[in-house]
Amino acid sequence: MKLLPVAVLSLLCTGCASIVSKSVYPVTVTSNPNACRVTVRQNGAVIHEGTTPFQITLKTKGAFFQPATYDVEFKKKGMETQTMTLTGRLNGWYIGNIVFGGLIGMLIIDPATGAMWRLPDNLHAWLNPMITMEGANGNTMHVVDKATLPPELEPQLISLY
């Protein structure tokens, strides 16, 4: 019977997501085409640079009750640069605090550890081909696939044939 109070106390001092989940996640970063140069930034600071494909382990906690947010920039010569935002989402195990972690887990433990957030397993970027030509007058022309442009830019297109 002495074990029961210890078990109850340990459940009250942990959060549900902290028990069954984690506060860092491995994220696989891929691209099409392969071998893109990738820069991962958090709050403007570079935290990782690599070439696709690779795997990076990222923290889920940004601030108390806020998920981490990362800006991921993909670059490759002859391709349009693409920047994606990777943000943590609410971890389903966090709701388990209603049963197991109680208010301590819901309001303190899981938000403090970042276990209330989850990152996706994969991040994939599709880069579009781009041709850039610079004229003698300083003007620059970018040639891209029409299918990749937003409709509002279509009136600005100039036919080359």
Per the structure, how many domains does the chain have?
Answer: 1
Label residue 108 by pLDDT band (50, 70, 90).
low
pLDDT digits (tens, 9 = 90+) for 55-100: 999 998 887 778 899 999 999 988 889 999 999 887 766 566 555 5
CATH number at residue 70: 2.60.40.10
- Which domain, by its residues, includes 81? 3-127
Examine residue 138 and state whether it is found in any structural domain, yes or no.
Answer: no
Q: Is residue 32 part of a domain?
A: yes
Q: Is residue 160 part of a domain?
A: no
Cα end-to-end span (Å), the chain: 87
Pairing type for strands 45-51 and 37-42 reads antiparallel
* E strand spans, 22-138: 24-32, 37-42, 45-51, 54-59, 61-63, 66-67, 69-75, 82-87, 89-90, 117-118, 122-126, 130-134
Report if residue 104 sits inside a domain: yes
Task: Over range 35-47, report the average pLDDT.
Answer: 97
Inside any domain, residue 79: yes
The listed range with the strongest mean pLDDT (47-56, 93-102, 126-135) is: 47-56
| Unique residue bearing structure tokens 């902290």 | 18
**Model confidence at 103, in pLDDT bands (50, 70, 90)?**
low
Cis before 33 (ω within 30): yes
In a domain, 134, yes or no: no
- In this structure, the dihedral spanned by the alpha carbons of residues 25, 30, 36 and 40, taken in order and rounded to 10 degrees, is -20
Within-domain flag for 150: no
Q: Would residue 148 count as lying in a domain?
A: no
CA 15, 20, 22, 25: dihedral to nearest 10 degrees? -150
The reported pLDDT for the residue numbered 57 is: 96
